[in-house]
Every structure is written in C-alpha cells, then in structure tokens.
Amino acid sequence: MPAGMMIPARNMPSMIGVNGNAGGFGSSSGLALGQPNMMEGQLHRLDMTQNTPEGDMARIRDDEFDSTNTKSGSENQDGASGDDQDPRPKKKRYHRHTQHQIQEMEAFFKECPHPDDKQRKELSRELGLEPLQVKFWFQNKRTQMKTQHERHENTQLRNENEKLRADNMRYREALSNASCPNCGGPTAIGEMSFDEHHLRLENARLREEIDRISAIAAKYVGKPVVNYPLISAPMPPRPLDLGVGNFGGQPGIGGEIYGAGDLLRSITAPTEADKPMIIELAVAAMEELVRMAQMDEPLWMGSLDGTNAVLDEDEYVRIFPRGIGPKPTGFKCEASRESAVVIMNHINLVEYLMDVNQWSTLFSGIVSRALTLEVLSTGVAGNYNGALQVMTAEFQLPTPLVPTRESYFVRYCKQHADGTWAVVDVSLDNLRPSPGARCRRRPSGCLIQEMLNGYSKVTWVEHVEVDDRGVHNLYKQLVSSGHAFGAKRWVATLDRQCERLASAMATNIPAGDVGVITNQEGRKSMMKLAERMVISFCAGVSASTAHTWTTLSGTGADDVRVMTRKSVDDPGRPPGIVLSAATSFWLPVPPKRVFDFLRDESTRNEWDILSNGGVVQEMAHIANGRDTGNCVSLLRVNSANSSQSNMLILQESCADQTASFVIYAPVDIVAMNVVLNGGDPDYVALLPSGFAVLPDGTGAHVGGMEEAAGGSLLTVAFQILVDSVPTAKLSLGSVATVNNLIACTVERIKASLSCESA
C-alpha cells in the first residue's frame, strides 16, 4: 500500500477514471490529507463521493504510513485498483484527525497560512501527526479559503452591477420624461442654449474635482464622503464647542502652537458631518480665488490715485452669489490685490505656505499664532497638489493699539492645468458660529507662477470682512486703507523674507569688505538667532493675548501697556521675571527717515539710554536684501566708563513697502563667538527690544518706504529682566522703572527727529 494513500470504503464505487488516472478527492473543513501527484508535481484535493459515510472520511493507515518515502502515482493507482477488485476487504486500522488537532491547526493557520518545514515538524510533533499530513492539511485549507474569498468577491461585484444597472435605467427614464421649463414640451440635450450647455459642462467639471478630493479625503476620514448639500444651503447654528482636543498648549498636527487666543482655544477639529461641506467650500473658494486674481474691470476698479485696485462689492455679489453668506451687520469689507516677483522656487514657496510652522515664521510680523487642527488630505503624487487643511490663525499689527484678528479656516492647495499653483483660505465660521468673532476670511490667498532662474510670480488676493471698532484712532486711517492687513503687506513681507532666505544660502560672499561674515555656517547660525529674536519681539509687542504674557493693570500710564512673564527652563531666554512694555505714537516724519535714524549706530546714543553714552561700533554684518538697511549686525558698545565692560548687541533692521523694523538684544560675548563659528544659536539667551515703523495711512506710497509721504506710526517695545528668580514677587518699583525707561526713550526720539525735521 503506497504511503499517504487513502483506502476507499467498501461500498464506494471505483474512483479510477477512464484514462486510468485516479479521480480527484476533495476535502471538508476537517479534512487534513492530500495526495501528491508525482507525475505533474501538483496537489490534488481528495473528494469523497456522496456514498461515502462521513465517519470514513480523511482516514489513513498509521501502520503503513512512511514519511520518508512517497510512492509514485502509478503505484497509488495500482493499489487503489487492487483494493477495489478484492472481493474480501481486509480489516484495516484507520486514523482521523481529532477535534483538538483540527482546532490547533485552524488557530495556527490564522497566524501563519504558509508554515515552513521547521514549523510543520514542530506542529506535527505537538499534535501527533506526520509532517506530510500537516503539509497537505494546510494546502487544502489555503485552497478552501481562496475559493470562499473569490465567491464573496463575485457576490459583491454582482450586487454592484445590479445597482449600476438600476441607476442607469432610472436616469434613462428621467431623461425620457424631461420637459422644457418654458413651453412644457419634451426637450433634449441638443436643444439647450449655448450658455446652459457651458454651465452644465462647468458643473460636471467641478463635480468631478469634488469627487476626486472626496476620494482623497476618504482615506483620512475613514469612510467615503457622502453627497452633500449646496454651499448656499442654510446651516443650523450650533453652540461653540468647548472641547480643546490638540489645542491650547498641546502640539497639534502642524507642530508647535504659536499661542492660543480665548476664541481660538475653544475651536476643535471638524466633525465627520462637517467634512463634506468643508471640501465643497474649498473647491468653490479655489475657483473664486483664481477668477478674483485674473479678472479686472468691472470687478476691480482703479483707485483715485491709480496705485491700488478697488473691489466693486456689488459686482462681486453678482459674480459670486454663493459662498459663505452675506456680510454680517457692522462688518466692513477689506479687499485688495497685489503682484510681485520673488526670489524663491515655486515648489519651495508652496511648501512654506502649506507648513504651518514655516508659514508662521515667514510671516512672523503678521501671524502671531497658527495651528493646523486636522489634515483632510496631504495631496497626491508626492507634493501638495490637492492638500486640504483645517487651520486656525491670529493676525496682528505690531502695535498694542490694534486688536488681533482671529480666524478659523480651511486651506486648499491645487496645481492647475497650466502649471500654476494656487493656495486659498476660506473661513469656516458658519461651522462654529460665535458672537465673539470679529473677522471673516472670504476666499483669500495667492497664485504662484514659475519663472526663470528660480523666481516666482505671486499674485495675492486678500478679502476679509471685519469689525474694526476696536482700532485706536491713531491707526484707523492705516487699517481702513487696507495697508495694515491687505495683500500689499503680505506680498511685501514675502518678498523681503525671500531675499533674506536667499542671502542665508548665498555662498559667493566677497571677502574684501570689513566686517562681512564669510563663514557659511557662521552666517546661518547668526541669521537663525536673529530670526528667533524678531519672532520673540513680535510676540511681545502686539495686542495678541495668544502668548504667555500677563497684562498688568494700574501701571500708571494709560498709553503704555506693560506685561509680565515668568521664564523657567527656557534655554533661549534668561530665567526669571521679564517685563515687556510697549507704546505707540505718531511722528510728523516720513517712515524712511525714522527707520534710518533708528538703525544708524552713529546716532544710537541719542536715544539708547542703556548704552550710557558709549560709542557704538559695528563689528560684523550680514546683508539680507537689496536695501542696504536690510541687514543683521553685531554691535559693540564701548563704554565711556573704563570700569564697565563692553557690551555686544545683536541687531536686525529690515524694511519693505509697508513696514520696517529695528530689533536688537544684548548678547553674551562667549555665546556669540560660538554662534559665529557655526554653533547652535538656540541656547543663546535673548530679551529683544526695538521699534516697528508704519506709515500713518495719509500719504502716497507709490514707491514704498523710499517715496512715502506723510507721518509715521512708531511702536517702541522693551523686554527687561527685573528679577532672576522666577518665583519672586513683582514689585511696583520695577514697573515704574520700565515705564520711565520707555517714556524717556520716546522723548529722546521725538526731540532728535524734531531737530532734524526743523
């Protein structure tokens, strides 16, 4: 009897086929044996016929089973024929798998459907079976599972096919019963007007894009995005969610939180029901942004002085009747458009805009905090094409006299057919209605076109509706003119920052000029330190409540805002209690003159009380823009008193068409030597002070700061360590000292500039 051969029951008909080959045998779930066909090298399943008693299935002769030698297929056939022809069946000992053996192999199959030789031997030893028995059981089990899977797939496909057929019939019936809205008679596609046909094609294209984004979003949502209502459909108001989620001091998807205002702390990631609406809103906003950037009259009209484009609000409502709804009562519309060519590759520019940390750093003078609540899509093809993010941000002006603007919006990035990239924001305030909201972003953002030599052309559209009743009278003209938060400020900041980044990566630095830092690593470290200094200054000067400052009341000076902060375990700041004092005032001097006066080290002792009348000398500098005033400098104050040690000051001065800054901080000499040699700048303690200069909004700004007429709005801010012990109590004397310091500085600046203007 060949090893591994099954003996048929007495009443079983012969299993030998006409061609002399043994018939195939199948298996039930408990069947553990198979028969190898040595002629073809394949496994044939054992199939008992209906006359075979269930108790006789899957049996084997233990006394004749040989695991080391398998007989040929022809011997198996002879053995089977001999048994069938023998009229006197011999009584043999049979063995069938026990329930325990089947359960153990079933459990092992779930973990490992393809055991190797070692695993089969181990399993056979544990179950008291031969390795070949285990091998054949697993082969049969895999075949059985494959058959069941295919049967299930076939059923699913059949159901989907039936559903599609039913939909097709329903659409055919609807088309056959269509009627003309004018005459009531039958109509056909060919009878449409050209405009109607064009609109149908446009709707189909938009629907296709929505479906594509929905499919992408479904990967992150966890289930397919269902059909959604029109944007213009009224949404039921809901109370503001008070959950915090990844917000309020915890790292979010975008990384570090840049502060968190009271309103923004209460906003959480969107719900599953919100996501279809967000996707549709983003697609519609993208279409609106592209048209707003490309259209001219009658949507955009020239201003009286010919320098700006003014949005016709009535024409806007006619062209874009849908969107985020009518303008709230008491809100004012601010709309502007600006274009510029910047020195940055279009791909890198898109990455900066879509990364919340890089975006906040790039626009640190405008963005006081930003957070990505949820990423609905990361894009396709390895880039940000199709990326969709739900975000919150707070926008600021560098003064304590203008309230910040908080916004909850979705950001959508898309590459268009002509290669142009577009990034659009649109408010989601309808999803989180709040009586405290003072700002709404209609579709705003930029179009980015690739140009030669790594440049990009950027067309920026900024369109917001805002309640500006909290703006101080000094800044009302600037804010209402659109220069405070408009497209011109965004583009000017972007242009200046792109020049700064290009300077940081420059390698062909001439070594002839005195004081120029040519060490590449030293330049990068020093510019990174200056960047952190600027961010820290902007965080302490605006009216933002997003940061870790506490505003003090009863400081004795209504026009000076004093805040305090305790610094503990922060290597970038000295430990202890820090006071920040800021004030803003008007000067009858053009911004360019104010900026040049404040950045010039030769006139520094006219206003800098802390230099004690010492001579200020520039030791090193890094140019970071076309304007000679845009640079990072290392200054040394040579004290007039020989008993006092000299002091080093790190200073960055920068100016663009809409704003200018002079920001500085005393630094340790040893720490700066490490930075200049390319060391890590993150461990250099800084307390920045400085100035922000803005035009007052009354003059013309055709050529930017150089040709600006009118007066200036100057903000002065100091950060001073008043106690090196963080747990110490703040004394009123410290507050009075800081108030006196800022008041004296203001008087000195006014006196010096008044003498110059006279």
Residue 573 neighbours by CB under 8 Å, 6+ apart: 536, 567, 685, 686, 687
DSSP 191: G
* Whole-number Å distance between alpha carbons of 718 and 665: 10
**CATH tag for 102-152 (out of 1.10.540.10, 1.10.10.60, 3.30.160.110, 3.40.50.300):** 1.10.10.60
DSSP 543: S
Is there a shared CATH topology between the 102-152 domain and the 271-504 domain? no
Residue 624 neighbours by CB under 8 Å, 6+ apart: 499, 500, 503, 504, 527, 630, 631, 632, 654
**Six token digits for residue 324:** 């985020």
Residue 187 neighbours by CB under 8 Å, 6+ apart: 178, 179, 180
Mean pLDDT of 561-590: 84
**Which range (30-44, 385-399, 435-449) has the least confidence?**
30-44
Give 665-687 pLDDT, tens digit per residue. Answer: 999 888 888 898 888 898 888 99
pLDDT band at 13 (very low <50, low <70, confident <90, very high): very low
* Whole-number Å distance between alpha carbons of 402 and 37: 88
How high is the pLDDT of residue 735?
83
How high is the pLDDT of residue 344?
94
How high is the pLDDT of residue 665?
94
Amino acid at 278: I
Which comes out higher in pLDDT, residue 497 or 628? 497
Angle at 272 between CA 269 and CA 278, to 5 degrees: 70
Q: Are strands 332-342 and 42-44 parallel, antiparallel or unpaired?
A: unpaired
Crossing angle of helices 732-757 and 591-599, rounded to 10°: 120
pLDDT band at 1 (very low <50, low <70, confident <90, very high): very low
pLDDT band at 661 (very low <50, low <70, confident <90, very high): very high
**Which range (510-524, 657-671, 707-721) has the least confidence?**
510-524
* Whole-number Å distance between alpha carbons of 466 and 439: 4
Architecture of domain 511-699+709-756: 2-Layer Sandwich (3.30)
Give the helix ranges, DSSP H, for 50-193: 73-85, 99-111, 117-127, 131-176
Identify any residues that bridge with 576 across adjacent strands, giving them in sequence order: 567
Give 343-361 pLDDT, tens digit per residue. Answer: 999 999 999 999 999 999 9
For the question of whether the overall pTM of this predicted structure is more than 0.85, the answer is: no
How many residues does this entry show for the chain? 758
Amino acid at 195: D
* Whole-number Å distance between alpha carbons of 121 and 119: 5
> 377 exposed, middle or buried (CB, 10 Å; 0-12, 13-18, 19+)?
buried
Q: Is the pLDDT of residue 60 over 70?
A: no
**Which range (137-146, 661-670, 693-702) has the least confidence?**
693-702
Domain boundaries, the chain: 102-152, 271-504, 511-699+709-756
DSSP H/E element including 712: strand 712-723
Does the bond joining 298 to the residue before it have cis omega, within 30 degrees of 0?
A: yes
Answer for the pair 399, 475: CB distance below 8 angstroms, yes or no: yes
> 721 exposed, middle or buried (CB, 10 Å; 0-12, 13-18, 19+)?
middle
* Whole-number Å distance between alpha carbons of 24 and 186: 64
How many Cβ atoms are within 10 Å of 470's Cβ, its own excluded?
11
Crossing angle of helices 131-176 and 99-111, rounded to 10°: 60
CATH for 271-504 is 3.30.530.20
Residue 631 neighbours by CB under 8 Å, 6+ apart: 621, 622, 623, 624, 625, 652, 653
DSSP string across 406-466: EEEEEEEEEE-TTS-EEEEEEE-TTTS--TT--EEE-SEEEEEEE-GGG-EEEEEEEEEEE
